[in-house]
Structure 1
Amino acid sequence: MNRRELLALSGALAAATLSGCTGSGQADPTTQTDADTTTTPPTEMTMTPADEPPAGEPSVDDERLAALASGNAEFALDLHAHLASQDDGNQFLSPYSISVALAMTYAGARGETRKQMEEVLHYTLGEDIHPAFSDLQSALEKRETATGPGSEEELDAFQLAVANALWGQEAYSFSEDFLASLEEHYGAGLQRADFANNPDDERKRINDWVADQTEDRIENLLPAGSITPDTALVLTNAIYFMANWEHKFDPKKTQDGTFTALDGSESTVPMMQQDLRTNYASLPGAEAVELPYVGGDVSMVLILPDEGTFEEFERNLDASQLFGIFDELSDAEGTLVFPKFEFKTKVQLKKALSDLGMPVAFERAANFSGMSADGQQNLKIDDVHHEAFVSVDEEGTEAAGATAAVIGFTSLPPSWGELRFDRPFLFAIRDRLTDAVLFLGRVVDAGAAQGSE
């Protein structure tokens, strides 16, 4: 598969995967304000209801892609909110990467496992989810040839790449239909791995593949111990994005400024500054501005909730409101000041996905029988590992994301063979909740213990 395919979404907004950031009805791509241009303050927009952003839908015309975009954004915001509730620090994810890795896993799910995955991941299309992701990949591939103002050098400063791969235990018979579907819709070919005998070597091989696909920004996606002799399959997605702003910030204008953190503490950070004309929206409870990258097809949307309202705004934001914000973006001009930043987020998603409503996929009762050639129900998800990196400066944005869904064999209860109590033994009757021993005895002659008149 061609490496250039996705990640704009990760750079656009941690929660927004495929949006209509530059949807119909919006202004032409950003143009920088000339020095002699009179700046007109952005017009305040009236929204209803007055206390929340307007509702909207994905801007894409294709019904299937719109359903994918909407469901994917719902999952993104659900996951973002859940993780944010557990950790009040910075956070950056690639919801698209997670969704793709789990969509490949979903292809083999059956029964209650499949139902829970559908609900949590907002897969409203059923089996059509796979051709929908394929359509999205095709659409994203076109971003490679996006044209816009600037020199050849500027246009070359845009890279959008995605790769999918399967790593399956040697000699395990996977369903041909399952493998064919993932090859057709995700370009994910099967690579055989000797998890049973060399689990750590295979873990390093997968990590090396991820590092290669992400320009070494993600080097240790799978931590030590995450692959074991009981691993049957690892489904991986890797994304890399690097693009210059359509209009770069002048480094000479970058100055130290004060940033007030969520807890009220202050720090001094480098703040970039630019007078520009771009898409902007003044909304109930927030302001938003859009910064396109070279070519104009991909952008970053910055959303600034009113002072003192960040947590409430973030907690209440849903996909419809997010798309509504995108819809309200329109041509305006002003001065933008925002910080340079760079950080990485690494998470294991088993608990988060279980808490959101799909615990059975991680339990012995999981049903991934669609993965095996003989329909055996002996596989479950051990964990879902995700890592994402982002760097924003005067030139543009670099971002990388990777996800690995590790599928393991369900462990059967250990067998002791036959245990014969044919010699003296002790026994106790206990209260299990307190371990209080209620009775204690021994049998040294079973023949003499056969009851009495």
Structure 2
Amino acid sequence: MKNQKNYSMIYLALAGILILGLSACSDGSSPLSGGDKPQEAISELSRQDLADYPLEELAGLAEGNTAFALDLYQQLASREGNLFYSPYSISSALAMTYAGAEGETARQMAAVFHFLEDEDLLHAGFNALDQHLEGLAELDIPEDQGDPFQLNIANAIWGQKDYHFEQDFLDTLAVNYGAGLRLLDYIQAPEESRQTINQWVSDQTQEKIRDLIPEGAIDSDTRLVLSNAIYFKATWMEPFEESLTENGVFHGLNGEELDVPMMSLGPDASIPHYKGDGFQAVALPYLGGQVSMLVLIPDEGSFKEFEGALSSAVLEQVVSEMVYTPVQLLFPKFEFETEISLADTLAAMGMPQAFSGAADFSGMTGDEDLFISDVFHKAYIGVDEEGTEAAAATAVVMKLTAAPMNPLQLTVDRPFLFAIRDHQTNSILFMGRVVSP
């Protein structure tokens, strides 16, 4: 363990993979025969049960995760087309890596991810937040209201056979992330190792994420892969009526007109709504009332300006000032996948050392012989009348307005942003934008 740092359905599937390889100065480990079933070198310690962890103590972790989510969004906004990712999945995978980082490498990572200065609290916080989120699946939802809420978060680390890993590092991951070290043979069987990890990701995400690690990304210099997968499936609290879905026009960023299925909610539905300067927002809760999709709809022609100004303060204001309002909502069905290599992006955000030969992950191995070769992230989302499926705090207080004479008419027929949030901790699980349903 290192010293504390003094700095600072919708259908949805997603997964993150981080690959560490040898730096040029390392001689690696001795070759081993390939093709064997993965063994595990697990810590003797079991995952700590933090089901009763005070949620208010997660505020700092959630704030840091939100700050990273928005920082990353601004980096990815220049990409063309739709965008979808899980800041929570990415943060979790990198937090496991951070457990083995030292010196300047650790300082840069902490700054980019807005990690807590107290590392013990950081890892315990991720453990508690994981358990809180997975506990949402145990909410008592009557069978006649919809399918049960599903949220599964899985972590795994995949190391080279006979390669030395520090016991403190393995213990930290076992106690806080429930991740045992699974042994593969990257030296003799890199392709088989890649397929094994990809199959694990596919299994954890109900086959929504396949072939996460591309061919050639794992080679004989690979020594460690850290993986995180999230699967989420939930039913809308106010489901859209399928018989009312009709094709409508969606206006793209460049003025193109797209013919897309538009779902209809209302006119009797009452959902959280906010009217801001140049945009509107609605929240679409899932059954159980603890998680919702926050949808931000900029006025026509102002999407890029709004996107560039999006901040934690804006989200805070929107969430805190929403009021339940009768809304007749038209909302597009959509389904797409985003695949991202994050190495260059994270380096540009302020942690270049982790991706270079100067990286210090000696907390993992005892030597400064590892660096991150890439971070692969893949996410799928599909939205329909029933709810969401994904693979990849104090409850929000919302005031009830007096019902207007007529419901508010809101047609989401232009580019919008969205985030799937846990109300109690204010954690952003998934985030994205739709410019072409």
Cα distance in 2 for partners of 1:323, 1:232 equals 41
Deviation, structure 1 residue 314: 1.0
In structure 2, give the amino acid aligned to 1:379: L
User: 2:246 pairs with 248, 251, 255, which one?
Assistant: 255
What CA RMSD, in Å, does the superposition of the two structures yield over aligned residues? 1.9
Q: What is the CA deviation profile of residues 189-244 of structure 1, one whole-angstrom value per residue up to 9, with x for unaligned ones?
A: 11011111101100000000000000111110000011111111000000111111
Deviation, structure 1 residue 283: 1.4
Residue in 2 that maps onto 1:305: 298
1:105–1:235 CA contact under 8 A, matched in 2? yes
Cα distance in 2 for partners of 1:360, 1:247 equals 47
The DSSP-based 3-state class of the residue aligned with 1:124 is coil
TM-score (norm 2): 0.76
Q: How does 1:49-448 map to 2 (within 5 A)?
A: 62-85=55-78, 87-127=79-119, 128-148=121-141, 151-154=142-145, 156-275=147-266, 276-372=269-365, 375-401=366-392
Change over 3 Å in CA distance of 1:147–1:329 after alignment to 2: farther
Cα distance in 1 for partners of 2:275, 2:140 equals 30
In structure 1, give the amino acid aligned to 2:73: H
Cα distance in 2 for partners of 1:305, 1:159 equals 31
**Rg bigger for which structure?**
1
TM-score (norm 1): 0.73
In structure 2, give the amino acid aligned to 1:382: S
Change over 3 Å in CA distance of 1:70–1:356 after alignment to 2: same
Deviation, structure 1 residue 61: 7.7
Cα distance in 2 for partners of 1:153, 1:174 equals 50
The worse-fitting range, judged by mean Cα deviation, of 88-97 and 311-320 is 311-320
Deviation, structure 1 residue 80: 1.3
Q: What is the CA deviation profile of residues 238-295 of structure 1, one whole-angstrom value per residue up to 9, with x for unaligned ones?
A: 0111111112111111111100111111110000011110111111221111111111
Cα distance in 2 for partners of 1:340, 1:319 equals 27
Which residues of structure 1 form unaligned runs of 5+?
1-7, 13-59, 402-453
Change over 3 Å in CA distance of 1:156–1:272 after alignment to 2: closer
Change over 3 Å in CA distance of 1:63–1:112 after alignment to 2: farther
Deviation, structure 1 residue 81: 1.3
Cα distance in 2 for partners of 1:287, 1:162 equals 32
Residues paired across the two proteins, number = 342
Cα distance in 1 for partners of 2:10, 2:309 equals 21
Deviation, structure 1 residue 324: 1.9
The DSSP-based 3-state class of the residue aligned with 2:100 is coil
Cα distance in 1 for partners of 2:115, 2:86 equals 17
Runs of 4+ in 1 over 2 A off after TM superposition: 8-12, 60-64, 153-157
The DSSP-based 3-state class of the residue aligned with 1:92 is strand
The worse-fitting range, judged by mean Cα deviation, of 276-285 and 194-203 is 276-285
The DSSP-based 3-state class of the residue aligned with 2:170 is helix
Asked which structure has the greater RCO (Cα within 8 Å, sep 6+), the reply is 2
The worse-fitting range, judged by mean Cα deviation, of 328-337 and 152-161 is 152-161
2:11–2:390 CA contact under 8 A, matched in 1? yes
In structure 2, give the amino acid aligned to 1:95: P
